[in-house]
């Protein structure tokens, strides 16, 4: 039985402190995708305080989650939460910059799922670095692709930094949607989620 109350507390506490955790419908969608493919391994880029990793590990049978977090305070909190939920056997967390992380330290390769939920401006770099560690029939899930709807109306964004960021997200979206090696399904769930699969070879 999942400790629903505590998980909700974790989510609410993160929201109160402006820690960006995945929206409820987004995380439920992610879980349903993992269940559908009967995933036993998932690599997450961007753990924050461990909320999504704990949600995945407690809702998907036999799933091992490996997750990477850059920020020290969030990493320490995530370690504590993973421990509090008794999930240290199921979740491995690395304190590192996923862009410079030495992949030799990954534990559960190859993965059924790669979930990218870290710095939005770097999506393509995360994708290119970690996709070789995804199984041939595995999936890659990317969150926050609509950026609060701004991606559909870039010309009207006034803040220069926000505009740059949204342009980068759009560039990633255009790149992956037009990539000859991948099929992409977009879902207007939460803040916009893509599920990416390798195209079947003929």
Ligand X SMILES: C[S@@+](CC[C@H](N)C(=O)[O-])C[C@H]1O[C@@H](n2cnc3c(N)ncnc32)[C@H](O)[C@@H]1O
Member of 41, 52, 90, 92 binding ligand X (CB under 6 A): 52
Residue 93, phi then psi, degrees to nearest 5: -120, 135
Member of 117, 138, 176, 193 binding ligand X (CB under 6 A): 117
The β-bridge relationship of strands 182-187 and 193-198 is antiparallel
68 is an interface residue for ligand X by CB under 6 A: yes
Could you say which DSSP state residue 145 is in? -
Alpha carbons 34 and 56: distance in angstroms, whole number = 8
34 is an interface residue for ligand X by CB under 6 A: no
| Binding range to ligand X, per CB under 6 A, among 20-28, 153-161, 167-175, 191-199 | 20-28
Q: How far is the CB of 23 from ligand X (least distance, A)?
A: 8
- Residue of this chain nearest to ligand X (CB atom): 46
The residues, any chain, with a CB within 8 Å of residue 168's CB and separated by 6 or more, are 120, 121, 123
Binding mask 70-89 for ligand X (x = CB under 6 A): xx--x---------------
Residue 34 or residue 98: which is nearer to ligand X going by CB? 98
Member of 7, 21, 82, 93 binding ligand X (CB under 6 A): 21
Q: Which long-range contacts (CB under 8 A, 24 or more apart) does 102-107 make?
A: 103/129, 103/130, 103/133, 106/43, 106/66, 106/133, 107/64, 107/66
Residue 83, phi then psi, degrees to nearest 5: -65, -45
20 is an interface residue for ligand X by CB under 6 A: yes
Which residues of the chain form contacts with ligand X (CB under 6 A)?
Answer: 20-22, 45-48, 51-52, 68-71, 74, 97-99, 117-119
């Amino acid at each position: 039985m999942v400790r629903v109350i505590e998980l909700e507390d974790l989510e609410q506490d993160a929201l109160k402190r402006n820690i960006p955790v995945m929206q409820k419908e987004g995380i439920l969608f992610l879980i349903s995708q993992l269940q559908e493919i009967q995933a036993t391994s998932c690599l997450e880029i961007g753990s924050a305080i461990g909320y999504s990793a704990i949600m995945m590990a407690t809702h998907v049978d036999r799933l091992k989650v490996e997750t990477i977090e850059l920020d020290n305070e969030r990493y320490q909190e995530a370690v504590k939460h993973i421990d509090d939920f008794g999930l240290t056997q199921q979740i491995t967390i690395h304190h590192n910059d996923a862009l410079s992380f030495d992949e030799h330290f990954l534990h559960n390769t190859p993965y059924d799922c790669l979930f990218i939920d870290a710095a939005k401006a770097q999506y393509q770099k995360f994708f290119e670095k970690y996709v070789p560690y995804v199984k041939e029939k595995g999936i890659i899930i990317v969150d926050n692709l609509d950026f609060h709807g701004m991606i559909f109306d870039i010309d009207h964004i006034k803040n220069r930094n926000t505009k740059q960021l949204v342009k980068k997200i759009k560039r990633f979206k255009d790149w992956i949607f037009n990539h000859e090696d991948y099929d992409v399904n977009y879902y207007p769930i939460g803040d916009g989620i893509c599920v990416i699969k390798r195209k079947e070879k003929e």
